[in-house]
Copies of this chain bind each other. A is one copy, B any other.
Amino acid sequence: MDKQKKDQTTEEKILEAAKQIFLTKGLDGARMQDIADEAGINKAMLHYYFRSKDKLFEQIFIEVVGHFLPKIIAILTSEKTIFEKIEIFCSEYISQVMQAPYVPVFILNEINKQPEAFLKKVLGGREIPVELFLKQLEKETKSGIIRKVDPVELFMNLIALCAFPFVARPIVQLITGKDMKQFMTMMEARKKEIPKLIIDSIKK
């Protein structure tokens, strides 16, 4: 047990342990006993504080996603040029994921297992404020700065290039022989490589 855990409340211990277990094993693969062991507490406490496995999972899920999405949205709706936004997006996204490398796999699994529930949980009725971003694209297309671009594909390419290496990380590491530190160094470099690639492809 970490030294820190001693002055954490039981609820905090559970949340931390559940996050660790759910992120690495997924909902199906995680056992309540695993979480209890990881937290160093009795299994009954999980139910005392969070009633059921599903409730606990949802708590973790909302915490994890709720930490990511706002930052992304903030970037898209900020007062920057498209080129700047692309640069900031990649840098920020990769920074975020570097601190929690399992998050992309975790999210992609949820997306595939229950897409509607996913959107509902994540957005909770709100809408993605994508309007502003679309208008900006349109404007900068007309003013001739960039060529005509499908915003969905642009966004998809961005996330693909940023997120995919993390999703395939274990195999990338095995093939290249990179340890975690070297892998992270590569991703650090990609913060600049990816925007270059994307911006080059949409510039006129």
Contacts and interface: CB of A to CB of B under 8 A. Distances in A.
A164 B160 contact: yes
A116 interface: yes
A197 B108 contact: no
A105 B115 contact: no
Question: Contact residue range for chain A?
Answer: 35 or more
B29 A170 contact: no
A197 to B, nearest CB: 5
* Chain A binding surface SS class: helix
Contacts of A1: none
A130 to B, nearest CB: 8
Given A28-B28, A109-B105, A168 B156 contact: yes
A164 B156 contact: yes
A5 B116 CA distance: 32
Interface of A: 25-26, 28-29, 102, 105, 108-109, 111-113, 115-116, 118-119, 128, 152-153, 156-157, 159-161, 163-165, 167-176, 186, 190, 193, 196-197, 200-201
